[in-house]
Structure 1
Amino acid sequence: MKELILGGARSGKSRLAEQRAGATQQDVLYIATAQAYDDEMNERIARHQNDRPPHWQTLEEPLYLGRALQENAKQGQVILVDCLTLWLSNLLCMDDPSFFETEKKSLLECYRQLPGQLILVSNEVGQGIVPDNALARRFIDEAGWLHQSLAAQSDQVTFVTAGLAQQLKP
């Protein structure tokens, strides 16, 4: 089963993903995409780490997500990726269009064929105003296109608002 969980900041999407992964009673691999560039982000990462059960395996992969999934996905395991928009930011901030396209393609091409259960978490950022700078506009566009592509390949898509999950697909 492949699931995409979308929501705004502090919507409860990560909590929902963790609940769903834990409810499977399978081994869980948590792939974290965040990079800490300041104290506040270090605190956020630490809070997320403390919220996870200690027996879950964690892999930090800020760039090569498709490869990490291909190398680690297996039957009888859940992989939870949190979050795609941080991964997308990491790629876009490298300012290397060919690297960005290669890594995005790697994820999209492997996603459906991966064995085991996969839960992807991502921020829905396209519901606000259009930003006044080119990088922010590109980020919103790329996130929207990525979400559409993954939603089309997902068995289930869930949107979370104020801790309430709304099933969008099936």
Structure 2
Amino acid sequence: MVRGKLIFITGGVRSGKSSFAEHFVMNEQAKRNVYVASGIAVDEEMKARINRHQDDRRNYSVEWVTIEQPRHLEQIIPKIEKGDAILWDCVTTWLANELYEGQMEEVEKQLFTTIEKLLEKVQVLVIVSNEVLDEPVSKYEYTALYQEWIGRLHQKLVAKADHAFEMEYGEDRQWK
């Protein structure tokens, strides 16, 4: 069986990552386009961002299946069909949700096991993340821990990816 493609897209907040990722997925012309959303609407700003993303997908001529999965990404595996194209948005939000539970070594191991299982089924898996490492390491313990984990995950994701992109100002730069 042919392994699905893994695409990693990172960039700053509102840099055009999600739109770029959505177009990438739609160009694959897969069986289904599946949007895996990690955000939780905890405040008005997040509610507005989630609504904007949902509205954007409604404006496309193709249908999207949305799976809300803020934690335990492995739970989506039974919902995914052979030949799907997945857009997972985003790693940084998911990581913040998972950090509250601790046991990050196990979470990381489960994440990469899940990615491998998904790649056995899908045509393409596009993973979006925010670039948060342009700033110095935080003096706050939990923020520094978050920076450490996101940096570690980004490096491993890029190493596994077939292609890696960084978005800035609505423009993409391919690193891999």
Fold-level similarity (TM above 0.5)? yes
Matches of 2:175 and 2:113, distance apart in 1: 23
Decide whether the 8 Å contact of 2:73 with 2:114 is kept in 1: no
Contact 2:36 2:86 in 1 (8 A): yes
Which residue matches 2:135? Answer: 128
What secondary structure sits across from 1:97 in the alignment? coil
Cα distance, 1:38 vs. partner? 1.0
- In the alignment, which residue of structure 2 is the partner of 1:2? 6
Q: Which residue of 2 aligns with 1:23?
A: 27
Aligned twin of 1:166: 173
Partner Cα separation in structure 2 for residue 47 and residue 101 of structure 1: 34
> 1:53 Cα deviation (Å)?
3.4
1:110 and 2:114 correspond: yes
1:63 to partner: Cα distance = 0.5
DSSP 3-state at the match of 2:70: coil
Gapped regions of structure 1 (runs ≥ 5)? none
Distance in 1 between the 2:42 and 2:114 partners?
30
CA distance in structure 2 between the partners assigned to 1:31 and 1:112 by the alignment: 16
CA offset digits 1:41-69 (Å, max 9, x no partner): 1111111111113720000000011332x
2:15 is the alignment partner of 1:11: yes
Kindly report the root-mean-square deviation, in angstroms, between the aligned alpha carbons of the 2 structures: 1.5
SS in 1 for 2:147: helix
**Which range moves more in the overlay, 4-13 or 127-136?**
127-136
Q: Does 1:143 align with 2:147?
A: no
User: Does structure 1 retain, via aligned residues, the 8 Å contact 2:15–2:168?
Assistant: yes
Residue 157 of structure 1 is matched in structure 2 by 164
What amino acid is aligned across from residue 74 of structure 1 in structure 2? E
CA distance in 2, matches of 1:110, 1:91: 15
Q: TM (normalized to structure 1)? A: 0.91
Of all paired residues, the percent bearing the same amino acid is 36
State the Cα distance separating 1:130 from its structure 2 match: 2.1
TM-score by length of 2: 0.88
What is the CA–CA distance in structure 2 between the aligned matches of 1:124 and 1:142, rounded to whole Å?
Answer: 12
Structure 2: gaps (5+ residues): none
1:105 maps to a residue whose letter is K
CA gap of 1:143–1:37, structure 2 versus 1, over 3 A, is same
C-alpha deviations, 1:126-166, integer Å up to 9, x for none?
11122221111111110000011111111111111111111
Do 1:65 and 1:103's aligned partners in 2 also have CA atoms closer than 8 Å? no
Q: Counterpart of 1:60?
A: 68
